[in-house]
């Protein structure tokens, strides 16, 4: 069993390296969004299947931020890099405020009905261009 | 043996509870035949899907991943894919792969049944479009197909029973582009209920389709067929992994030996007729594992073709990036719309046959930094993270390019000599290489799809040539035909070698077409079932199975 509290120093630099803040879009970094303390524990609970490999991979990283932090995470290899980056990004996108900024409402239930007039107009234009299949002589072929 | 110990002899033993097995079970039971179905998995637990919260993207691949080698659920069997360009994907449980399918629904075109006649390559089918058409019509109702009829990519008569989804901004963009290019485009046809129908609820478009539809709108046969089958008296045995189809000294099938995965005990289930509906990997695996001294190369394999000619619709993608923000994350995840403009052989190209293009949902923010449909995601981290998300989320669309695959005997399913599943049954080994024709076909279609995206306003396109984990359609490995020397089953799925053994899944398809196959798989299963019903009085039955019969 791993305890997330034992990994906080590593998580802080890893999360910040993968998701720094961005002035242009006004998006916060992983730490500013609350990944280490609030969101990552939730993500790890949701994906308890990935949690052991996440911590195992973290253990292979230095405790404190190395000089080339992204290279250090990449050096873990594709599988571990994937586990770490997927869980950090997955945790980041659990946050409501982040999603609001992106204009992502989540996978909503929608009850719109189709506009038949629009659909008919659109398909009539396609039909007017004629058929696009090859008509073949029917009857049994050689099998 | 007392009568109590003796297993009931059923009229029909079916292996596999996916669409083909379910269609057959329902139809045969409707005619009063006694039917038992052996399924290696259980009913899907849809409560494991977090379909509505922000957890959806993080969790969707946990239980409902489509690659059995990653999922490793107890009902799965390993598939050795070391020698394959494409990995087969499936769901092993009640409902079969329809639990995960995107539910894009199509018919084959007339030329798909006549590839040799039209193009001088591959083979013709022993049946044609007209033969299958009435069965397409019937299954389209059972599978709640929604969309718009009158598509000029098909002969008249492809009328779709349920109303379509509304057009989205994405559809409008691409439809207008294809109007300007003079190319075909059509609103998506999907086996997804848009109104209440056949036990399904109207789709609420959350887009979880390929991870299991919690909302009960997608026509997966655990919902559309199995409840009706159970009411009709079909016995569905879950956790029953078929190990062998047995034959008697008369050469006829006597039933199926299976292992109960819960108790570990092996049983023999006798039956007068055996139907294998285990899909293009599971069916040849079972037939090959049913080898005996009378059938040293596997059952029904005098042609040597069991497992060969595997086709998997190699798949590439072309994504477009747009300046404006539009909804691209909702469902249906399957196809919003499609194009069959390039689905037939063309005179101006260096390859045969064609591709279907499907316009797909892109997913939420987490998908923008994933690999699908972007290819690698190694460079989206650090300072690239936010610009990537901003660029892709709500500003992208993609064409999935589904290539018609041509049969090649070197592409095959065999038994792995070393690997076994948890019950000791040999694993499947898939050997598959995309042909030069496939590469040329994909390349050409991707260039056209880039034109399509550009015309629709994309300022940048991203092309993924052939994606590996896209073996959704597993076809051709038990081919049908009239000649027992060059085919395994006849045009009604009946084994040439074992006349009370039937195969009813996509493995019987002699060529693959370029479209999603479940409409064809289901229509064939219905047609074959009608033939079984019609011929039931003259159906040869093994004496050994008859001898086991209990009761009247
Ligand atoms: C992710 C995904 C997306 C797809 N999208 C589409 C789409 O949009 N449109 C479309 O037309 N098709 C799609 N498909 C394909 C579609 O799911 C299949 O065509 C369809 O399910 C085939 O039905 P089937 O009954 O032949 O096989 P399956 O549905 O694969 O069912 C076979 C069943 O047999 C069982 N079985 C196998 N071996 C044994 C054994 N030894 N003993 C007992 N049971 C056994 C399996 O557990 C399984 O339940 C998709 C598939 C996947 C995986
Ligand atoms: S989009 Fe529709 S079919 Fe797909 S999962 Fe949601 S309700 Fe089901």
- DSSP collapsed to 3 states, B186-232: EECCECECCCCECCECCCCCCCCHHHCCCCCCECCHHHHCHHHHHHC
From the number of C-beta atoms within 10 Å of its C-beta (0-12, 13-18, 19+), residue B3 rates as exposed
Which of A54, A75, A89 to probe the B interface (max B CBs under 10 A)? A89
- pLDDT tens figures, B4-50: 567 899 999 999 999 999 999 999 999 999 999 999 999 999 999 98
**Size of the A and B interface in Cβ pairs below 8 Å:** 201
* CA B172 / ligand 2 centre spacing (Å): 21
Considering only CA atoms, give the Rg of chain A.
25
Q: Which of A19, A22, A136 sits opposite B117 (nearest CB)?
A: A136
Greatest alpha-carbon span in chain A: 75
B38 and B240 in contact (C-beta within 8 Å)? yes
State the residue for tokens 């694993």.
B427
Domain residues for the domain of B289 are 3-48+62-361+395-547
pLDDT at A141: 45
Asked if A47 reaches chain B (Cβ–Cβ under 8 Å), the answer is: yes
- Phi/psi-derived region of residue B230, left when phi > 0, alpha when psi is between -120 and 50, beta in every other case: alpha
Q: Is the pLDDT of residue A142 over 60?
A: no
Q: How many domains is chain A partitioned into structurally? A: 1
Q: Average the pLDDT over A39-61 and give the result.
A: 97
User: Has residue A143 been placed in a domain?
Assistant: no
Q: What is the mean pLDDT of chain A?
A: 95
E strands in B238-376: 240-247, 253-260, 266-276, 315-321, 337-339, 355-360
Q: Average the pLDDT over A25-30 and give the result.
A: 97
pLDDT at A137: 76
Contact B152 A138 (CB under 8 A): no
- pLDDT tens figures, A73-127: 999 999 999 999 999 999 999 999 999 999 999 999 999 999 999 999 999 999 9
- pLDDT tens figures, A15-25: 999 999 999 99
Contact B152 A131 (CB under 8 A): yes
Strand partners, B401: B316, B357
pLDDT at B551: 38
In 10 A of CB B4, how many CB atoms?
6
> How close does chain B come to A19, measured CA to CA in Å?
5
Domain residues for the domain of A42 are 4-102
Distance CA B199, CA B52 (A): 22
Is B104 near ligand 1, meaning CB less than 6 Å away? yes
pLDDT at B2: 52
B189 and B145 in contact (C-beta within 8 Å)? yes
Nearest-10 Cα torsion for B375, B379, B383, B387: -20
Q: Is residue B502 within a helix (H) or strand (E), and if so which, with residue range?
A: strand B501-503
User: Has residue B370 been placed in a domain?
Assistant: no
Which A positions 56-115 lie with beta carbon below 8 A of chain B?
70, 74, 81, 85-86, 89-91, 93-96, 98-99, 102-104, 106-115
Contact A20 B491 (CB under 8 A): no
B327 and A105 in contact (C-beta within 8 Å)? no
| pTM more than 0.80 | yes
Taking 50 as the pLDDT cut, the residues of chain B under it are 550-552
State the residue for tokens 């109590």.
B4
Q: Assess whether the previous peptide bond of B332 is cis (omega < 30° from 0).
A: yes
B37 and B17 in contact (C-beta within 8 Å)? yes
Any idea which of A61-65, A136-140, B405-409 has the lowest mean pLDDT?
Answer: A136-140
Contact A123 B148 (CB under 8 A): yes
pLDDT at B374: 94
Q: How many domains is chain B partitioned into structurally? A: 1
User: Has residue A128 been placed in a domain?
Assistant: no
Q: Which of B57, B184, B382 sits opposite A93 (nearest CB)?
A: B57
Distance CA B156, CA B110 (A): 12
Residues in CB range of B42: below 8 A, 6 or more apart: B75, B93, B94, B238, B239
Asked if B262 reaches chain A (Cβ–Cβ under 8 Å), the answer is: no
Distance CA B104, CA B202 (A): 16
CA of A34: how far to CAs of A42, A100, B60, B184, B415, in Å? 11, 15, 23, 48, 50
CA of A121: how far to CAs of A26, B152, B186, B362, in Å? 42, 15, 12, 26
- pLDDT tens figures, B132-168: 999 999 999 999 999 999 999 999 999 999 999 999 9
User: Has residue A121 been placed in a domain?
Assistant: no
Which of B114, B156, B208, B371 to probe the A interface (max A CBs under 10 A)? B114
Distance CA B352, CA B541 (A): 43
pLDDT at B543: 79
pLDDT at B426: 98
Distance CA B490, CA B501 (A): 11
| Of B397, B144, B396, B484, the residue nearest A143 (C-alpha) | B484
CATH number of the domain at B314, please. Answer: 3.50.50.60
Distance CA B102, CA A10 (A): 40
Per-residue tokens: A100: 């609001």
| Of B15, B21, B34, the residue nearest B226 (C-alpha) | B21
From the number of C-beta atoms within 10 Å of its C-beta (0-12, 13-18, 19+), residue B97 rates as buried
Per-residue tokens: A23: 């002035």
Probe residue for ligand 2, chosen from B195, B211, B215, B335 as the CB with the greatest number of ligand atoms within 8 Å: B215
Considering only CA atoms, give the Rg of chain B.
23
Q: Which ligand is nearest to the CA of B87?
A: 1
User: Has residue B492 been placed in a domain?
Assistant: yes
Which of B56, B166, B513 to probe the A interface (max A CBs under 10 A)? B166
Is B93 near ligand 1, meaning CB less than 6 Å away? yes
Q: Is the pLDDT of residue A61 over 50?
A: yes
pLDDT at B548: 66
Contact B128 A96 (CB under 8 A): no
């Amino acid at each position: 069993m791993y305890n997330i509290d034992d990994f906080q120093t590593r998580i802080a630099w890893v999360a910040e390296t993968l998701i720094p803040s961005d002035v242009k879009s006004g998006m916060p970094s992983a730490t500013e969004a609350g990944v280490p303390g609030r969101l990552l524990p939730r993500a790890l609970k949701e994906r308890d299947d990935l949690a052991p490999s996440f911590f195992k991979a973290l253990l292979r990283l230095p405790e404190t931020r190395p000089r080339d932090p992204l290279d250090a995470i990449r050096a873990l290899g594709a599988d571990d890099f994937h586990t770490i980056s997927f869980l950090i990004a997955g945790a980041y996108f659990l946050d409501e405020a982040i999603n609001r900024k992106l204009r992502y409402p989540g996978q909503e239930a929608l009850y719109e009905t189709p506009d038949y007039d629009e659909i008919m107009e659109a398909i009539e234009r396609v039909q007017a261009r004629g058929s696009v299949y090859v008509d073949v002589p029917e009857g049994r072929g050689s099998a | 043996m007392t009568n109590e110990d003796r297993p009931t002899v059923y009229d029909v033993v079916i292996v596999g509870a996916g669409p083909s097995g379910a269609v057959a079970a329902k139809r045969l039971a409707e005619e009063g035949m006694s039917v038992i179905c052996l399924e290696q998995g259980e009913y899907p637990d849809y409560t494991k899907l977090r379909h509505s919260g922000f957890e959806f993207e993080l969790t969707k691949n946990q239980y409902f991943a489509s690659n059995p080698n990653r999922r490793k659920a107890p009902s799965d069997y390993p598939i050795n894919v070391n020698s394959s360009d494409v990995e087969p994907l499936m769901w092993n449980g009640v409902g079969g792969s329809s639990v995960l399918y995107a539910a894009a629904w199509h018919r084959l075109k007339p030329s798909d049944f006549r590839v040799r006649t039209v193009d001088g390559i591959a083979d013709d089918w022993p049946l044609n479009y007209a033969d299958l058409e009435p069965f397409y019509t019937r299954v389209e109702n059972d599978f709640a197909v929604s969309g718009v009829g009158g598509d000029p990519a098909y002969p008249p008569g492809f009328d779709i029973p349920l109303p379509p989804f509304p057009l989205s901004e994405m559809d409008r963009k691409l439809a207008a582009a294809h109007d300007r290019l003079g190319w075909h485009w059509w609103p998506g046809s999907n086996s997804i209920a848009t109104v209440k129908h056949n036990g399904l609820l109207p789709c609420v478009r959350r887009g979880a389709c390929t991870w299991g539809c919690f909302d009960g709108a997608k026509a997966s046969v655990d919902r559309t067929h199995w409840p009706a089958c159970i009411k009709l008296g079909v016995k569905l045995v879950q956790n029953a992994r078929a190990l062998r189809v047995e034959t008697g000294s008369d050469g006829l099938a006597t039933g199926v030996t299976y292992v109960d995965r819960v108790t570990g005990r092996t049983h023999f289930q006798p039956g007068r007729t055996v139907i294998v509906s285990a899909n293009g990997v599971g069916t040849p695996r079972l037939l090959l594992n049913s080898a005996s001294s009378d059938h040293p190369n596997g059952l029904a394999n005098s042609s040597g073709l069991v497992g060969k000619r595997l086709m998997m619709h190699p798949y590439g993608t072309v994504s477009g990036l747009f300046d404006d923000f539009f909804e691209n994350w909702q469902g249906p995840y399957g196809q919003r719309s499609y194009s069959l403009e390039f689905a037939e052989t063309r005179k101006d190209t260096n390859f045969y046959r064609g591709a279907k293009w499907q316009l797909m949902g892109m997913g939420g923010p987490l998908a923008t930094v994933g690999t699908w449909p972007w290819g690698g995601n190694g460079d989206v981290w650090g300072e690239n993270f936010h610009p990537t998300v901003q660029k892709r989320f709500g500003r992208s669309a993609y064409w999935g390019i589904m290539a018609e695959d041509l049969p090649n005997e070197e592409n095959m399913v065999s038994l792995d000599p070393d690997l076994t599943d948890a019950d000791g049954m040999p694993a499947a080994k898939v050997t598959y290489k995309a042909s030069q024709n496939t590469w040329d076909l994909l390349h050409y279609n991707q260039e056209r799809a880039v034109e399509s995206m550009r015309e629709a306003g994309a300022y940048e396109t991203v092309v993924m040539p052939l994606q590996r984990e896209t073996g959704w359609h597993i076809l051709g490995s038990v081919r049908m035909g009239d000649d027992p020397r060059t085919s395994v089953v006849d045009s009604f799925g009946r084994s040439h070698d074992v006349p009370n053994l039937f195969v009813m899944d996509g493995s019987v398809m002699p060529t693959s077409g370029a479209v999603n196959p479940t409409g064809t798989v289901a229509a064939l299963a219905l047609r074959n079932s009608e033939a079984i019903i019609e011929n039931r009085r003259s159906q040869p039955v093994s004496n050994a199975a008859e001898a086991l019969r209990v009761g009247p």
